[in-house]
Structure 1
Amino acid sequence: MATNKRGSQALIQSMINQGIKYVFGIPGAKVDQLFEDLQYSDDPRVPKLIVARHEQNAAFIAAGIGRLTGKPGVVATTSGPGVSNLTTGLMTATAEGDPVIALGGQVPRDDLSRLTHQSIPSKELMNFAAKSSTEVQDANNLSEAFMNAYTAAVSPKAGAAFISLPADVLGDETTRPVIKPLTKSAPSRASDETLDTIIGLLKKAKLPVILAGMRASSEEVTTALHRLLGKVSLPVVETYQGAGIISHEFENDFFGRVGLFRNQIGDTLLKQSDLVLAIGYDPVEYEARNWNVEHNDTVINLDSVAPELSNDYQPNVIVEADIAATLSALTDRLPADYRLADDAVTHLEKLRAEFEAEGLTETKAKPGTIHPLTIVNELQKQVDDETTVTVDVGSHYIWMARHFRSYRPRHLLFSNGMQTLGVSLPWAIAAKLVRPNEKVVSVSGDGGFLFSGQELETAVRLNLNIVQLIWNDGYYDMVKFQEEAKYGRDAGVEFGPVDYVKYAESFGATGLRVSDPTKLGDVLNQAFKADGPVIVDIPVDYSDNIKLKSALLKDILN
């Protein structure tokens, strides 16, 4: 039966069928039909069109939606540079497991092989940035192309899917009905035989430890893991993207986060353990060559995808199945009397005490500046468990990852695959859209903020209450302190000052500066009470950064 829809309308109906709430992007001639139909549709279910200030940032916002909800965020751009500007955003999403569907305008079909205005091989370009990349040649294929892109984006390992849309295809009439809403596949767990093998290895191990990674951070997997910990207390180490998996209830099972430099309590525990149960762990988070240098006696890989094997990561047991269902079945099958031996419990208590005793203490910051730990601690006082904190890349990111506590998964967000500058503010915009009634904080350095700072206008336009902290020192400091450690000097890391208060005000946001370090708490109180986006300029003293890499093993600095 004919649908009498334009191709763009069939595409929008497909979005409706999958519950897409937003489309982020920037308009252009090759995709304007889609934008027209999004903005002027009478259907209240049509996704809201939100125009961004750069295509890369629009992709970051869409990826933030994907990470927070588990469902793809959608970004739409015009052809040529509109598409190529998506590349970094899509590469980041694919590396870090965030589902995104990217719609890229393209020249009309009869111009595809010509050297015409904005004609680039979009599909081929995105083969390297996305999990799947296709170009639609017939309007009747638009709905199925979108649904297949949706499936590709959410299937393990989640990531980006790209669809190239020639302008005339969007305007053509379709004669086929759109694809119906997708049916969610039933979870498939590991076999009882495999579960018994895992239980046997756990019972044999003297010091088992759980390494909880990015794919352990979904609500379903976190709930299943908590159920396991409720039955038997096991030490848990989080990756940066696994931040928040351990709740208040299981605080005693938390042994820190691992990533970057190998000198944390979690690194020591992983080194000493004779069995690592890696749950949803992805090597892009923290390569096994960093945490498995000594090659643990036994590694169990429980994941929804097959592991990447290397000389440093050759699991003894590989489970490729639904993680939550498998954990639940493992908990049910685990003997009621199973627990860690007393000497293991004693060792864990001693290990925790040693690290707490050796904990980094603040040195006195330079006049007019604030120590990173002071900023972390003051921010910790301002938030609750429902607050979403997004963190950009830089020296502040290491301090936050090590010392800022979060007790709910996907409420403390890091880019730890690509380590992409500029993600924090776009992710915060996504978080405020998804969690409108909760506090949202974006934490950036002065080096990274201006990568996406123009999206402050988007936040102002949408009247989003976002507190943006800028740790300001005038350097690309994460590079600076590592150069100094390697070469005894730095190169190419200094840049000029920006008045971030005036910057904020020029966009219609509130700008605050911590001029008196003793008033940091007061300024943060003011920021959280303000209406709309707020920038807080915080002068930071990174002199203690060298301690971030102190007491390392020889294979660390990278």
Structure 2
Amino acid sequence: MPTPPVGAAHRMVETLSQYGVPYVFGVPGATIDAVHGALAVGGPELVMCRHEQNAAVMAAAVGLLTGTPGAVLATSGAGTTNLMTALLTATTEQYPMIAVCGAMTRRGRFERTQRSMDAIAALRLVTTYTCEVHDPDNVPEAIANAVRAAVTPPRGAAAVVIPDDVAGALTAATVVQPHRHPSPGPAPAECIHRAAQIIRAAQQPVLLVGLRGADPEACAAVRELIRVTGLPVVETSQAAGIVPRTLEEQYAGRIGLFRNQPGDVVVTHADVLITVGYDPVEYDPGLWNTDPARAIVHIDALPAEIGSHYQPALELRGDVAATVGELSGELSGLAISNRTRAALAEQRAALACIEEEARAVPATAVGLNPAAVILKIAENVEDDATVVSDTGSHIYMARHLRGHEPRRILVSNGMQAQGVALPRAMTAALLRPGTQVVSVSGDGGFLSSAPEIETATRLGLHATHVIMRDNAYDMVAFQEHRKFGRASGVRSGDYNIALYAGAFGARGIRTETMDAFESELRWSLDPGRLCDPGITIIDVPVDYAQSTELFAQLHDSNLR
């Protein structure tokens, strides 16, 4: 029996639902009103946001936290161009998401008129997959292929451009049913056996776990490998939390920002480095691999990107979880040398010393030590809390916030776009109700996405945002002082957070002392309040002058 015709926009929404997309975030517009109309009838939950960039950040956060893409809906012209930074961030940092972009009618496609543009050419620069639908019967397959592209490693943003007249047309095409990607299985057995031989012969083997090692199944396999081997583990920022509390003694630190930190020292002294799910965008090998001739065992679903500082002796290409699982069997009972144990203990002591020194730095007349603020957050959140960092504050989060569960400490270290913390935290509050959700930014980063407080209040979310205030772009000021001996164009004005937050229905508090900050933080994170609607914004003054020595240890690539 023939399928009765329906609107192409309705078929698009049905396909998104069939592929498990839970939310569509967006800002309304004339060229996408047919899709908004279809979402009013059914399908994923529609979340109306205040700006397309924030909507896209939220959609990407769905992919980051669940592995299933979120979707963003934007109108033609400026609506589409407003997505660009967030799409580039999702593609660079490999979070699966779908962008559905409206366009002028097919008849006016190449006319120079209002909101007309070559959206395909623009979107191809920032996505893993882009297509434009010219026939309403092609809508389901366009969405299906976009979803498949978004979730296929290396994951990222996929975009579908749909002209206004196509979205409003009728189609008899049916929904394209989801097809599971066949697992590639583990790497070849002989390669895994050879890797085990290399590791067993090493004097100081070390695990370096990257973003694909933090996927749920891969993380479980990595944890088992750590347990059965006793190998020291270093993680990237995007793999934060892969070492559980029960294996804490094997944690050697995090790498990605600084020179000569404990994790860097452990990696430098390793004679065999086993990289699991590592991607160069997380931490350029030229910055950490001081000995390109050292043996590297590369474990990933993707082939290694060969360069002068990354030349694996052996590649184990296959499903990460399956490959690591097989390797665990080969390495069971591995004897870690006393030299390795001593080196690990030394760097773990260095990690503890870094934290104690940060806690001991007193407040000044300007404000609190930002590292101490982050450590205070760490003391007051549970292991299942989601803590999100904006750019700038990510320096302190990456250095001081430990985390023991994957995808709970969210640090942007790809594009490092300003203003991502609040919208990502809102997504975490949507997906993880009843748990602690904290985002951290500077006063500038906060204002980049602050209008979404209204969105969070309207949705009835519970989350806490911490503003580390200095009324300046101090990361930039530091660079300018290094280069020119003075700073220029970095000072900004103050604002009243109580009045600002209150205008959007949130609770804003400015604190001046660490005791006052901790009191407000504990109040907002109280387990008895987590299921109640409420956004709390805690404004705390900080003094970055105390961090000049720390900034001097940053790699130049992390200064912006």
Q: Taking structure 1 as the reference length, what is the TM-score of the superposition?
A: 0.95
2:451 is paired with a residue whose SS is: helix
| Contact 1:207/1:275, CA 8 A, preserved across alignment | yes
Contact 2:419–2:449 (8 Å) recurs in 1 = yes
Q: What is the deviation of 1:488?
A: 2.9
Residue 437 of structure 1: CA displacement?
1.8
Amino acid at match of 1:100: M
Percentage of pairs with the same residue: 38
What secondary structure is seen at the aligned counterpart in 2 of 1:82?
helix
Q: Does 1:157 align with 2:154?
A: yes
Conservation of the 8 A alpha-carbon contact between 1:70 and 1:99: yes
Structure-2 separation of matches of 1:163 and 1:318: 35
Indicate the larger mover: 508-517 or 98-107: 508-517
For residues 438-487 of structure 1, give each alpha carbon's deviation from its aligned partner in whole angstroms, at most 9, with x where no partner exists. 11111111121111111111101001101010000011122222332343
Query: How far 1:536 moved relative to its partner?
Result: 0.5
1:358 and 1:21 map into 2 onto residues whose CA distance is 41
1:534 maps to which residue?
A: 536
Query: For 1:149-298, what aligned pairs fall within 5 Å after superposition?
Result: 149-295=146-292, 297-298=294-295
TM-score scaled by structure 2? 0.95
Structure 1: distance between partners of 2:437 and 2:275: 30
Q: 2:315 aligns to what? A: 318
* Structure 1 residue aligned with 2:344: 348
1:439 corresponds to: 436
**Correspondent of 2:495 among 490, 495, 498:** 498
SS at match of 1:31: helix
Q: 1:127 to 1:181 in 2, by over 3 A?
A: same
1:126-164 deviation digits (Å, cap 9, x = unpaired): 010000111000011000000000000000000000000
1:10 partner amino acid? R
Q: In the TM superposition, what is the alpha-carbon distance from 1:29 to its structure 2 partner?
A: 0.7
Residues 116-131 of structure 1: pairs in structure 2 closer than 5 A = 116-131=113-128
1:87 maps onto 2:87 in alignment:
no
Alignment of 1:93-104 (within 5 A): 93-104=90-101
1:358-401: per-residue Cα shift (whole Å, max 9, x none)? 6644432212621123212221222101100111001x221111
1:141-152 matched pairs, under 5 angstroms: 141-152=138-149
Q: Is the 8 A contact 1:52 1:458 kept in 2?
A: yes
Decide whether aligned partners of structure 1 residues 508 and 473 sit closer, same or farther in structure 2, where only a CA change above 3 A counts: same
- The separation in 1 between residues aligned to 2:132 and 2:345, in whole angstroms, is 57
SS class of match (2:87)? helix
Q: Distance in 2 between matches of 1:554 and 1:179?
A: 47
Match of 1:365 among 363, 368, 371: 363
State the Cα deviation string for residues 383-441 of structure 1 (Å, max 9, x = none). 101100111001x2211111112100000101101011111011011101111121111
Count of residue pairs the alignment pairs up: 552
User: Helix, strand or coil: the match of 2:30?
Assistant: coil
- Give the AA of the match of 1:38: L
Which whole-Å CA distance do the structure 1 matches of 2:184 and 2:112 have between them?
A: 48
Alpha-carbon distance in 1 for matches of 2:477, 2:126:
29
Cα 1:544–1:409 shift into 2, 3 Å:
same
Secondary structure, counterpart of 1:98 in structure 2: coil
Distance (whole Å) between structure 1 residues aligned to residue 416 and residue 322 of structure 2:
31
Tell me which amino acid in the other structure corresponds to 2:378.
Answer: Q
Report which stretch shifted further, 474-483 or 264-273: 474-483
Q: Quote the residue 1:508 is aligned against.
A: 505
Aligned residue runs from structure 1 range 419-430, under 5 A: 419-430=416-427
C-alpha separation between the residues in 1 aligned to 2:354 and 2:241?
A: 23
Matched, 1:140 2:141: no
1:411 aligns with 2:412: no
C-alpha spacing 1:389/1:351, structure 2 compared with 1 (3 Å): closer
Structure 1 counterpart of 2:550, from 539, 548, 551: 548
Amino acid at match of 1:235: P
* Structure 1 counterpart of 2:106, from 103, 106, 109: 109
Q: For 1:133 and 1:84, locate their aligned partners in 2 and report how far apart those are by CA, in whole Å.
A: 14
Q: Give the drift of 1:197.
A: 1.2
Provide the C-alpha distance between the structure 2 equivalents of 1:166 and 1:353, rounded to a whole number of angstroms.
60
Question: Is the alpha carbon distance of 1:438 and 1:358 closer, same or farther for their aligned partners in structure 2, counting shifts above 3 Å?
Answer: closer
Contact 1:149 / 1:161 at 8 angstroms: preserved in 2? yes
Of the three residues 516, 520, 542, the one matched with 1:519 is 516
Aligned match of 2:26:
25
Counterpart-to-counterpart distance in 2, 1:417 and 1:552: 15
In the alignment, the residues of structure 2 paired with residue 51 and residue 65 of structure 1 have an alpha-carbon distance, to the nearest angstrom, of 15
Q: Distance in 2 between matches of 1:494 and 1:468?
A: 22
The change in CA–CA distance for 1:146 and 1:354 in structure 2 (over 3 A counts) is closer
Q: Which runs of 5+ in 1 are unaligned?
A: none
Q: In structure 2, which of residues 327, 331, 354 is the aligned counterpart of residue 330 of structure 1?
A: 327
1:557 CA displacement: 7.3
Unaligned residue ranges in structure 2 (runs of 5+): none
User: What displacement does 1:552 show?
Assistant: 7.6
| Paired letter, 1:475 | A
- Asked if 2 retains the 8 angstrom alpha-carbon contact of 1:187 and 1:325, the reply is no
State the SS of the aligned residue for 2:297: strand
Equivalent pair of 1:263/1:550 in contact (CA under 8 Å): no
Amino acid across the alignment from 1:382: N
Give the drift of 1:355: 5.0
Give the 3 Å change call, closer, same or farther, for CA 188–321 of structure 1 in structure 2.
same
CA deviations 1:164-200 (Å, max 9, x no partner) are 0001111111122111122242341101101011101
Any conservation in 2 of the 1:243–1:410 contact (CA below 8 Å)?
yes
> 1:64 deviation in Å?
0.5
Change (3 A) 1:119 1:366: same
C-alpha deviations, 1:311-361, integer Å up to 9, x for none?
A: 111111122211001001111222x43221222212322333355446644
CA deviation after TM superposition for structure 1 residue 252, in Å: 0.8
Equivalent residue number for residue 63 of structure 2: 66
Q: Deviations over 1:262-286 (max 9, x none)?
A: 2210111111111111111111111
SS at match of 1:527: helix
Aligned residue identity for 1:29: A
Counterparts of 2:354 and 2:218, CA distance in 1: 33
* In structure 1, C-alpha distance between the alignment counterparts of 2:400 and 2:70, rounded to whole Å: 30
**C-alpha separation in 2, matches of 1:14 and 1:555:** 41
Partners of 1:60 and 1:332 lie apart in 2 by 40
Letter in 1 for 2:337: A
The Cα offsets for residues 19-75 of structure 1, whole Å up to 9 and x where unpaired, read as 111100011110000001101x1x4xx111100000000000001101000111100
C-alpha displacement of 1:113: 1.0
Residues 258, 553 of structure 2: 8 Å contact kept: no
